Structure 1
Amino acid sequence: MEASPTFQNIPPDKQRRVLDEAQKEFAERGFLGASMNRLAARLGIAKGSIFKYFGSKEGLFAKVFDGAVEHFSGFLRKSRDETVGRPLAERLERLLVVGTDFVRTHPDIYRIYLKMLFNEDFPLRERFLGQVRALSARFLTPIIEQAKASGELPASLETPLAVFVLDAVLDRFVQSQAQSWMDTGLHLSLSDPETSRRAASRLAEMLAGGFRVG
C-alpha cells in the first residue's frame, strides 16, 4: 500500500511517528475498535490529515501491515542467508529462534497479527493472512529444496507438503509463547528465551528427522 504524495513529502521522522502510533492503536484496539479521532489526538494532528495521507482507515492499516511484513521479511532473509549450506536442523532452529525474537522485540506487530488471525470479521483478513502465508512459503521452499539437492532430504519428498508442515509448526511455536493457553506442557514463554531456544533445538531436530523418513 502506497501512501499519498502528501505523506511521502513530510519528514521521515514524522512519517515514522504516524505509523508507529497507528501500529499501537491497531494493536491495542484491533481494526474495528481503532479510532482515527484517538489516533489524531495522540499525534496532535487533524483527523483529516490521516485521511489525506492514506485515504481511509483501511488504507492506513494496509500501510502499517505491509510495513510489518516487510520488516519481518528482513529478519527471515537474514536468517536464511546466514545459514546457507548448514544442516537442515540448524537452519530450522534458527528460523524458530528468529521468529520468536522478532515477536519478543516487536510485540505490537504480533498483537495485530493475532487479532486478525482470530477475528473473522476483520476487513481484508484473507488478503493480509494470505500475504503472511505466502511470505513464509517463499522463505521455507528454498530451504527444503536446498536440503533435497544436497542429499540431506530424499528427492521424493513433496516440497509443498514439507513447507505446509513447517509453516504450521513455526506459527504454533511462536503462538504458544505469546498465549499461554496454547502451550501444551512445554512451558514456553516469551519471557524465557533460554527455554525457548532449547525447545527450538529439539523441535528442529525432530522436524528434520521426520522429513528424512518422509
Structure 2
Amino acid sequence: MDILNKLQWRYAVKKFDSDKKLPAEKLEVLKQAFNLTATSYGLQPVKLLIIENQKLKDQLVAHSWNQPQVADASHLLVFCIHNDVDENYIKTYFNRVKQVRETPDDVLEPFRNFLIDDFGSKTQEEIDTWAIKQAYLSMGNLLTVCAAEDIDSCPMEGFVSEKYDEILELQAKNLKSVLVMPVGYRAADDMFADFKKVRKELSEAIEEII
C-alpha cells in the first residue's frame, strides 16, 4: 500500500520552491530509472536531457506557455526522440545485445533483419509516432519513481517543441523534444498540493473479465 500512498501524495506541481535542489543521489535514481524504462523492441528511441542551468531554464519559460515551473524547478527534464532510428541505429542495438548477453549472430540475425526491414518500410512520421509513445512510457515511469522518492514533478505537453529544439540545438544531435517535466520540491504555499484527487470510481475505470 505504500506505493498507493505515494501516488496519492503526488500531483502536478504548479509552484516549485526554487531554493530547494535535488541532491545528486536523487538525480542518479532518476537517470537509472529512465534507462531501465521498458521500450518497444528494447530500442530506446528516447533521450533524456537534464537541465540545471538557470539561464537556460529562464529562457525556455517563454516557450512553455509561460509556466513558471520550468524556471523554478530544481531541474528540467526534456524527453527527446531520436530522428535517426534507421539500419545503423538498429545494428548498434544488436551489437550491444551481443556484447552484453554474448548471443550468437545466428540467433540475433533473423530478428535484426526483421526490424531493419520493418523500419525501412515506415515513413519518418510513422517512426516518430512510435518513438513518441516510448517517450510517454518513460515519463510515466519517472512520474511513479519521483513519487516513490518524494520528488515533486509536473508532466507537461504545453511547450513549443520547435523553439526548444532551436535553443537546445537538438537538430544537430538528431533529436526532437516531445515532452517536458520539471522536477524538484513543491513550494509550501502551492495551494494545489491540498486539492483532493478527482478520479473515476474503480468500477467505472476498470472492467474485469473473468
For the criterion TM > 0.5, the same-fold answer is no
Task: Report which of the two has the higher share of helix.
Answer: 1
Q: Which has the higher contact order (CA 8 A, sep 6+)?
A: 2
Task: Report which of the two has the higher share of strand.
Answer: 2
TM-score norm. by structure 1 comes to: 0.29
